[in-house]
């Protein structure tokens, strides 16, 4: 292909723009090795997008991609970068210096995203600035070479360049342009990818975590009853393995927190400010507690929920040290990545609520993705108002004076978990045999407790299921109904009733703004 037609010129100019963008990101990633991982522009921009996105868009992305929402965001962001970079290359070829202006504006936005992240400084913006300068220079040189190649292909003879030097022949100009566009872009992608892998490596923290031996709990959790696990194929296990536990948060990069340097501060409307480090926390009388956590974005029948054994120290005991002042009604917890959650102070002080400053999960130190070294676990509240990972500060304040991360974005301020149930087996759309089959699933109403679960087939009556045991009201319960079906298509519905006598509402409500509602149902074909 030769750059002699308008279409071909645009294609090669777009290629040069994409190559220059790759150089910007590659240089920034390499320099982030020396200026700190917070200097990575693509993750900073991605985090800014998460901050700015409306709640409805967040729900849609989670509904479509589930726990792969971050990978989806980065993929979309990458596509946008390629499109904008290609456009910048075309503009620079047709109307210079508009392409450079596009690069400049994008660089300014990226720098703003970098330096405004939690814990970042102007120093962290240096990699993006240097990367942008190198990318702009490369774009300008590349477009000049493209223009010389185009002219020679048209003239097929030597011409004099603007600088007065004699230009080379078409083949040399072609090679000059393509080598710059492809080689520079390829090297930038390889170097940037290598730096990104190195930047994302948490070798020291991972090794320290692997060597960490958690102390035994002073107060052990009640053992899981033998009858808590029904052992049915397709039914969610009572205890969720760490590797399968859902992860929904605002961190595109999992924070790498050195436990030896971790500290928690309790400030705000308190008589005594409290500061505690990791060693001091481990030396306290820790407690184990089995609790189910749920994301407010969990739609009816969704899987953004899990049950685990947590090891930690009661938050109420730390608050007793701090002595909250009269009028305080909220604790604003802050993650090391800047995320905040507003939790009702009364819930954290409640003697009957096992709200923990957790250090362990299912018998091992918290996984990095689930908050290592320390996170909050509060039964009965959705995670967005309570389950702050990588927590470093708790400010005792008032709901009238402060808001958590998601509240100004349209979500309810207090977020109590709603009574819910789900059919795990058979799956929606399944074809089953005509013999007896198990209709089974889980139901939950953390901190209240599930008293019964009923199922209904088509327009038939509600039928009681058999409930499995549970450790406490803070965990979900498995249930099963043995059904002998007739041939044909059938709709199966489920509803739960809690210990207070309240049953699930039939009418569907989406997760926004305070959690989904409605009966879960599946359609199956028999025979």
Distance CA 418, CA 510 (A): 12
The pLDDT confidence band at residue 70, using thresholds 50, 70 and 90, is: confident
Distance CA 429, CA 489 (A): 9
292-308: average pLDDT = 96
Say whether pLDDT at 168 is over 60. Answer: no
Distance CA 54, CA 406 (A): 10
Q: Which residue has the higher pLDDT, 124 or 424?
A: 424
Say whether pLDDT at 405 is over 70. Answer: yes
Residues 246-264 pLDDT 10s = 998 888 788 889 999 999 9
Say whether pLDDT at 26 is over 60. Answer: yes
For residue 202, what pLDDT is reported? 58
Distance CA 443, CA 451 (A): 10
- The rounded percent of the chain whose pLDDT value lies above 70 is 94
Domain 226-409 falls under CATH 3.40.50.300: no
334-361: average pLDDT = 96
Residue 97: cis peptide before it, omega within 30 degrees of 0? yes
Among 38-52, 269-283, 412-426, the range scoring the smallest mean pLDDT is 38-52
Q: Can you tell me whether residue 420 is helix, strand or coil?
A: strand
Say whether pLDDT at 161 is over 70. Answer: no
Instruction: Write down the CATH number for the domain with range 420-526.
Output: 2.60.40.650
Among 97-111, 186-200, 325-339, 369-383, the range scoring the smallest mean pLDDT is 186-200
The pLDDT confidence band at residue 158, using thresholds 50, 70 and 90, is: very low
For residue 200, what pLDDT is reported? 61
For residue 157, what pLDDT is reported? 47
Q: Which residue has the higher pLDDT, 300 or 2?
A: 300
Is 171 exposed, middle or buried, given 0-12, 13-18 or 19+ CB atoms closer than 10 A? exposed
Tokens 């921009």 locate to: 45
pTM above 0.75, yes or no: yes
Q: Which residue has the higher pLDDT, 39 or 180?
A: 180
For residue 64, what pLDDT is reported? 76
For residue 137, what pLDDT is reported? 95
Contacts of residue 325, defined as CB under 8 A and 6 or more positions apart, other chains included, come to 269, 270, 271, 396
Say whether pLDDT at 198 is over 80. Answer: no
For residue 167, what pLDDT is reported? 47
The pLDDT confidence band at residue 32, using thresholds 50, 70 and 90, is: confident
27-33: average pLDDT = 87
For residue 123, what pLDDT is reported? 83
Whole-number average pLDDT of the chain: 91
Domain boundaries, the chain: 6-201, 226-409, 420-526
151-171: average pLDDT = 58
The pLDDT confidence band at residue 194, using thresholds 50, 70 and 90, is: confident
Say whether pLDDT at 278 is over 80. Answer: yes
The pLDDT confidence band at residue 16, using thresholds 50, 70 and 90, is: very high
For residue 451, what pLDDT is reported? 98
Say whether pLDDT at 1 is over 80. Answer: no
The greatest distance separating any two alpha carbons of the chain, rounded to the nearest whole angstrom, comes to: 91
User: What six digits make up the tokens of 15?
Assistant: 């290629």
Tokens 């407010």 locate to: 296
Using only the alpha carbons of the chain, give its radius of gyration.
29
User: Are the beta carbons of 412 and 513 closer than 8 angstroms?
Assistant: yes
Say whether pLDDT at 331 is over 90. Answer: yes
Say whether pLDDT at 296 is over 50. Answer: yes
- The rounded percent of the chain whose pLDDT value lies above 90 is 73
For residue 4, what pLDDT is reported? 65
């Amino acid at each position: 292909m030769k750059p002699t037609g308008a279409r071909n010129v645009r294609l090669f100019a777009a290629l040069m723009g994409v190559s220059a963008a790759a150089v910007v990101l590659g240089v920034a990633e390499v320099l982030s090795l020396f200026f700190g991982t917070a200097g990575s522009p693509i993750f900073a921009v991605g985090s800014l997008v998460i901050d700015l996105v409306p709640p409805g868009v967040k729900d849609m992305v989670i509904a479509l991609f589930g726990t792969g929402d971050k990978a989806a965001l980065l993929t979309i962001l990458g596509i946008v970068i390629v499109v904008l970079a290609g456009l910048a290359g075309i503009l620079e070829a047709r109307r210079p210096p508009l392409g450079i202006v596009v690069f400049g504006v994008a660089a300014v936005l990226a720098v703003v995203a970098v330096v405004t992240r939690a814990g970042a400084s102007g120093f962290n913006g240096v990699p993006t600035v240097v990367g942008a300068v190198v990318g702009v220079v490369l774009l300008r040189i590349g477009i000049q070479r493209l223009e010389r190649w185009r002219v020679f292909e048209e003239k097929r003879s030597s011409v004099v360049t603007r600088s007065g030097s004699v230009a080379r022949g078409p083949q040399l100009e072609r090679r000059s342009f393509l080598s710059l566009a492809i080689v520079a872009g390829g090297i930038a992608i390889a170097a940037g990818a290598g730096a990104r892998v190195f930047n994302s490596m948490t070798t020291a923290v991972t090794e320290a975590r692997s060597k960490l031996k958690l102390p035994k709990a002073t107060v052990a959790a009640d053992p899981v009853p033998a009858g808590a696990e029904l052992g049915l194929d397709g039914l969610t296990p009572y205890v969720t393995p760490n590797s399968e536990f859902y992860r929904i948060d605002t961190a595109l990069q999992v924070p790498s927190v050195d436990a030896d340097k971790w500290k928690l501060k309790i400030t705000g409307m308190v008589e005594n400010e409290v500061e505690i480090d990791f060693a001091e926390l481990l030396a306290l009388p820790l407690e184990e507690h089995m609790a189910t956590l749920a994301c407010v974005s969990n739609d009816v029948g969704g899987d953004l929920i899990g049950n685990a054994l947590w090891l930690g120290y009661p938050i109420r005991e730390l608050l007793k040290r701090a002595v909250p002042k009269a009028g305080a009604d909220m604790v604003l917890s802050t993650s090391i990545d800047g995320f905040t959650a507003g939790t009702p102070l009364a819930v954290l002080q409640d003697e009957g609520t096992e709200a923990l400053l957790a250090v362990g999960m299912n018998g091992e130190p918290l996984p990095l993705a689930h908050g290592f070294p320390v996170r909050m676990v509060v039964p009965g509240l959705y995670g967005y108002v309570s389950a702050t990972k990588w927590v470093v500060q708790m400010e005792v304040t008032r709901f009238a004076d402060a808001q958590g991360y998601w509240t100004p974005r349209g979500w309810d301020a207090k977020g109590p978990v709603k009574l819910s149930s789900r059919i795990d087996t058979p799956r929606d759309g399944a074809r089953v045999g005509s013999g007896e089959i198990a209709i089974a699933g889980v139901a939950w109403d953390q901190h209240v407790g599930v008293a019964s679960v009923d199922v209904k087939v088509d327009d038939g009556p509600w039928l009681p299921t058999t409930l499995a045991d549970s450790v406490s009201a803070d965990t979900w319960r498995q249930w099963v109904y043995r059904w002998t079906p007739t041939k044909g298509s059938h709709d199966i519905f489920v509803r739960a009733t809690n210990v207070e006598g309240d049953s699930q509402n039939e009418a569907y409500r989406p997760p926004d703004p305070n959690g989904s509602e409605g009966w879960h149902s599946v359609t199956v074909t028999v025979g």
